[in-house]
Structure 1
Amino acid sequence: MTRTVYVNGEFLPETEAKVSIFDRAFLMADGVYEVTSVLDGKLIDFDGHAVRLERSLNELDIRSPMTKEQLLEIHRELVEMNGIEDGLVYLQITRGAPGDRDFVFPDPETTEPTVVLFTQNKPGLADSPAAKKGMKVISIEDQRWGRRDIKTVQLLYPSMGKMMAKKAGADDAWMVMDGYVTEGTSNNAYYIKGNTIVTRALSNDILHGITRAAVLRFAAEAQMKVEERNFTIEEAQQADEAFITSASSFVMPVVEIDGVPLGDGRPGPKAARLREIYLEESRKVAV
């Protein structure tokens, strides 16, 4: 079935959607994005994604083209039009196509951003078999640019990292800078030792994950200790459990790092419980 998508104020069949070849996202990756999960036909953590979107736009000096309320309405319309029960809504805002290719961009107030949204149908998103099996990760050098806190469309190296993992027979990669783990290719990274969760602190080095914030809050409420600090691959390999978080995978257990199994090589109870809590609490406040 042909999806209905949103492009610059219009709901269109995906086969009719077009963006200019001079759009700066195409020419210079000059744009930002957000991905919001849909469970039971409702949006998960929408407010958090909207706040981070506004921050990313401000950091790149791109004018926000609409209000949070308008964005929410478009999200809901697409979910309904495409009959999404479980899935994702992808949103991308770019600086637009102000003219011929030029490194210098014009005044943001006189430039019309490009806005694109589309849905992805993923039945059973919350009941992913991968969550019961766990995932294997490898470590790779972090070679991305220095402002990873801005959720830009510059995703070439993360894509390369996922391909490195696939070639190594793993599911994903954790990136390492100066000997310490930064994050996964499209997710935040954690390990659990005893009753303590360890994850890298927020900075320009990692994305400020929306799911990350919620999971750490729920973990603290569950009387788990949280340490936000640098950690090495070797530390994580000696942990009881490990996991990742993202908007599309929620809480996903990690069972192997660079060929070293964690615990008995199966998802641990604490990561599994955090996933349950996150899904349960997020569904209560979904919009």
Structure 2
Amino acid sequence: MIPRVLTVAGSDSGGGAGIQADLKTMLALGVHGMSVVTAVTAQNSLGVQGAWELPAEAVRAQYRSVVDDIGVQAVKTGMLSSAGLVETVAELLATIDAPVVVDPVGVSKHGDALLAASALESVRRLLLPTATVATPNLDEVAQLTGVHVAAEDDLREAAAAVLAYGPAWVLIKGGHLPGDAVDLLTDGREEHWLRAPRHDNRHTHGTGCTLASAIASELAKGAGVPEAVTAAKRYVTGAIRAGFALGGGIGPVDHGWEFRS
């Protein structure tokens, strides 16, 4: 049977990030994507104009509907905007026997807040311990741990600070640093430094969602964590390179770049 991957995240009406990016990534990587919508956003290439959180019972019902009937080989979480949603999703994930990729979404590409400050402690205490892999960017590391990364040498400190909250592995995304796009994957014992050339392309909307979904897809296909992250990094690098203009602002990465290569 085709591997099945569930995304628990918000909807991006512009189609570049969130649930829409997740499902496109899953299709491109040969798995069956399913979704639990946690919030609806009015969003385009210029930013987020509005966001409406779904009730916890709606999130729980979607999750149970999918998992109890269809089953999953991996789960990816994205936008969980409130403490109540984080707690609901963490409770559900604690009972699942499948790898979980937690993308602790805090701020959109345009700087719009997507996570309430009151939810940070729930992310630290309840959500991160469920993660097979957590994938924070540098802003999210600072938000969660207080560690500010200014150079590549700071990535180890950032990783240790996130691992202290309980994920099995952490991928610290160093894309905001100058030079090559370098990420650090570690479980606290072994380290994998992942480098890719930086492409001069401003159209990078959905990068984080796409990477986390790609990791979940590879895990669902049976890859180990280092192999899954390496494959996902290759895929998202190609998607960034092929990112295209859409609307008047920042366009999305191209989830179907391999089909057009």
Please, what TM-score do these two structures have when normalized by structure 1?
0.26
More helix by share: 2
Please, what TM-score do these two structures have when normalized by structure 2?
0.28
More strand by share: 1
Choose 1 or 2 for highest CA Rg. 1
